[in-house]
Structure 1
Amino acid sequence: MTSPVSSAVSSPSHVAPSHVVVIGAGIVGTATAYELALRGVSVTLVERREGAGLETSRANGGQLSACEVAPWAGPEVPGLILKWFGRADAPFRLRPKPDPEQWLWLMRFLRRCRASARAERVLPNLELALLTRARLDAYRENFAADGRTLDMDHAQNGILRVFRERHGLEEAREGIGRMTQAGVEQRELSPAECVELEPALASSFQKDEIAGGIYCPSDGMGDAHLFSRELAAAAERLGVRFRASEEVEAIEVHDGKTTGVRLADELVAADAVVVAAGPMTARLLRPLGLRLPIYPVKGYSVTLPLEDAEAAAPNVSITDESRKVVVSRLGNRLRAAGQAEIGGYDLTLEMPRARSVFQALTGLMPQMGALEPRAEYWCGLRPMSPDGSPIIGELASRNRTIRGLYVNSGHGTLGWTMGAGSAASLADLICGSAPQLDLTPFSHKRFSL
């Protein structure tokens, strides 16, 4: 099995690690292990759950959305937080905790709630999303060359952003030119054109609830859990040792150099460690004196088996900009996802909030209401950085360098959209090749650690 990886050769002064431990087997961690294995590196992938893709990657919204890489932080957010404060079903909910980590993250997040701060993150995120597209294509070619199919319920039917209010559409229209210039085709659709593209929206159109839409034909959708599981198995075929149901107790460092990770009953030696542990990333790094600004943001989803309702379900992935939900068709299932709750590490599935996602779906597509008895609800924690971009690269604090310690985390809602590109770029860096894109915008150095 081969793959087109970076054509740059390793620097003569750089010695690629002989063994790397990757912590976390979600989208980002499994892709990182796979990319390293493609480059001939010995890898151990450690996951605390019993398999790959069972936490943040388990049941996300499914969108592969280069068209929607703008950060959440923006000038409208503080007002929305106040407007929705106290509402059990609020799309954005703040649950204050006596936790300095939460308050420091919030302070940094609110400082980013400026139009200029949001705009500066769009292009770096977009480049990472486009590289992810290319890497996913390469992965499918790899599987085909090996006589296999990469099963992830993938469909590239585009993403349609639907707006109920004209002012929302007008604000979004300003970004079409910039995205098109950067290589992502978008076009504005009238309400009638939205329904022509996706007939499942007919009811909303008839009720005059669609002011228009923006369509990105090159975007798509897929099942991140299936992808993680398939790629973990492919990584094992390349020689990666996958250690599931193993908790990392500590990252071992001696004389300023990473030496491995400590599990419950042994030390796994390594000359490099990649922390791709999603919302647990910051907690793993804190004992080393590194306070990475990655905090969990809780989200919910509902998955509906379509069975005899396939004809009524959408084939295009939908983002409802007013209800703040995304809808994706994953084979013979339909998934809707939404909600953002800043409330710590609690994974309690609160049914009023879970059902609000289903209600948002049926508000957009009432015909899906009959499927409620078969609804499967889920919640998970997204690892979010304050500025809406991941943190990728080698780590160091202001007064301490730790050689061989890398991070690939903080993707928020865009882990599926940017994960494979993150993995490829970091694998190039670790192996001494020029990364396929500039990782400077994703360095931890943009934050004070």
Structure 2
Amino acid sequence: MHVCVLGAGIVGLATAWRLNRQGFQVSVIDRAAPGAGASGGNGAQLSYSYVQPLADPSIWKQLPKLLLSPSSPLKLRPQLDPLQWRWALTFLAACNARTSHESTASLLALAARSRAAFEAMRADVAPDCDFSATGKLVLYASAASLAGAQRQLELQRTMGSQQRLVTADECIAIEPALASYRARIAGAVHTPSECAADCLKVCTELLRALRARGVRFMLDTEITGFDARDGRVAAVHTAAGDVEADAFVMALGTASHRLGRQLGAYLPVYPLKGYSITVDVDPTPGAAPQVSVTDSVRKVVFARIGSRLRVAGMAELVGHDASIPAQRIEALAEATRAVFPRAGRLEALQPWTGMRPATPTGVPIVGRLAGAPSNMLFNTGHGALGFTLAFGSAERVAEALD
């Protein structure tokens, strides 16, 4: 059985790896190189046990500041785009306790599968990807925010997550590079089992391994449409000609909505634009962090990947604007100076932006959809958890095809 995977980001490549392992003949099509989209410069954290959805009841209190403050990590630029308005309204409707709890349960279950599948991939491919398993700290600046974190922690504990609240002094003991930031820490959630890796390196290594195993790649190839008839897709149209297959998997990130409409499927996937910088670290012990850190106030994540520090954050609803404003990069540099002032020289920052494909609830769309062709499966909408969830959602796609 021939399966054609549309998309060569981490989600598409994880799907291709799983299907190839399962014995399918696999082709992969993408308009760019593997990992060139949202995967390339992402936050590098593998957050298997701490997956609080963006759509959370706390958003309502934060909303005025998030939308109106010039320095806000969240930015909305209203456009004449029905998808943007429909997505935003559905997102706000999802900011309630019940939906947040249901989304948390779904994400944790998928993340647990993804952890096991990612480890299976590492054993199979042995990728050189700066992998580490040093845990994660999520920092909170006030007693009120820490109390909210404790409620989420207790919820996740009932679902199998192992984490605990720690004091500011315990944070420093866990990650000495936080010492100068001690006065800004009311407490943190510590998850010892969390991991980090360079997602772009994983994509590159998967390309190498899959090509060696006979997977066909059509890169720098634009997908233009489909030959759909009798409730099935016979072929995908590309700039290099038609590609026929028995089944197809759409893992096209933010392009999934547009191409899904051609097949009669509505996919509520909208780009959440994010930014990152990558800094060469000072090797002096205690200068740069070894543990992954998330600053909940700044909405910025820090992840050690080898001799580099990845700093990422922000979420902008601005369509597909791929520009990189200097003030956004400076905000990440300033966050680095504030939290880890000795981490490294902030000269060559390697600025990056990517469009995270997000659903309003944060739960990805995996499998078949009503109204879509029966041999088209979807694997999209992972938002900021694409790297974390990619291998788990690939397993679900493979099960649906088996």
TM range (shorter): over 0.9
* Partner in structure 2 of residue 76 of structure 1: 58
Is 1:285–1:291's contact at 8 Å kept on the other side of the alignment? Answer: yes
Counterparts of 1:196 and 1:239 in 2: how far apart (Å)?
48
Counterparts of 2:61 and 2:167 in 1: how far apart (Å)?
29
Q: Secondary structure at the match of 1:349?
A: coil
Counterparts of 1:310 and 1:293 in 2: how far apart (Å)?
45
CA deviation profile, 1:77-100 (whole Å, cap 9, x unmatched)? 244332233444311111100111
When the two structures are superposed, what TM-score results if normalisation uses the length of structure 2?
0.97
Q: Secondary structure at the match of 2:342?
A: helix
One-letter amino acid matched to 1:111: A
Q: Secondary structure at the match of 1:408?
A: strand
- Give the 5 Å matches for 1:90-239: 90-143=72-125, 149-205=126-182, 208-239=183-214
CA deviation profile, 1:241-260 (whole Å, cap 9, x unmatched)? 01110011112211111112
One-letter amino acid matched to 2:168: P
Counterparts of 1:265 and 1:197 in 2: how far apart (Å)?
53
Counterparts of 1:265 and 1:321 in 2: how far apart (Å)?
46
1:177, CA displacement in angstroms?
3.1
Is 2:282–2:288's contact at 8 Å kept on the other side of the alignment? Answer: no
Structure 1 unmatched runs, 5+: 1-17, 144-148, 432-449
Instruction: State the aligned residue count.
Output: 402
Is 2:65–2:72's contact at 8 Å kept on the other side of the alignment? Answer: no
* Partner in structure 1 of residue 11 of structure 2: 28
Q: Which moved more, 1:193-202 or 1:176-185?
A: 176-185
* Partner in structure 2 of residue 14 of structure 1: none
Counterparts of 1:342 and 1:374 in 2: how far apart (Å)?
27
Is 1:88–1:353's contact at 8 Å kept on the other side of the alignment? Answer: no
Counterparts of 2:331 and 2:285 in 1: how far apart (Å)?
23
Is 1:70–1:388's contact at 8 Å kept on the other side of the alignment? Answer: no
Q: Secondary structure at the match of 1:373?
A: coil
Name the % identity.
38
Q: Which moved more, 1:270-279 or 1:286-295?
A: 286-295
Q: Secondary structure at the match of 1:407?
A: strand
Q: Which moved more, 1:176-185 or 1:123-132?
A: 176-185
- Give the 5 Å matches for 1:345-424: 345-368=320-343, 371-397=345-371, 401-424=372-395
When the two structures are superposed, what TM-score results if normalisation uses the length of structure 1?
0.87
* Partner in structure 2 of residue 42 of structure 1: 25
Is 2:50–2:191's contact at 8 Å kept on the other side of the alignment? Answer: no
Counterparts of 1:53 and 1:79 in 2: how far apart (Å)?
36
CA deviation profile, 1:296-346 (whole Å, cap 9, x unmatched)? 010011100125556511000001111111100000100111100011111
Is 1:44–1:241's contact at 8 Å kept on the other side of the alignment? Answer: yes
Is 2:287–2:340's contact at 8 Å kept on the other side of the alignment? Answer: no
CA deviation profile, 1:369-425 (whole Å, cap 9, x unmatched)? x5111211111100000111000001222xxx5110110000000011111000011
1:271, CA displacement in angstroms?
1.6
1:189, CA displacement in angstroms?
0.9
Structure 1 consecutive aligned stretches of length 4 or more whose deviation exceeds 6 Å: none
Give the RMSD, CA atoms, in angstroms.
1.4
Q: Secondary structure at the match of 1:337?
A: strand
The reply on whether 1:334 has 2:334 as its aligned counterpart is: no
Q: Which moved more, 1:245-254 or 1:175-184?
A: 175-184
Counterparts of 2:146 and 2:376 in 1: how far apart (Å)?
44
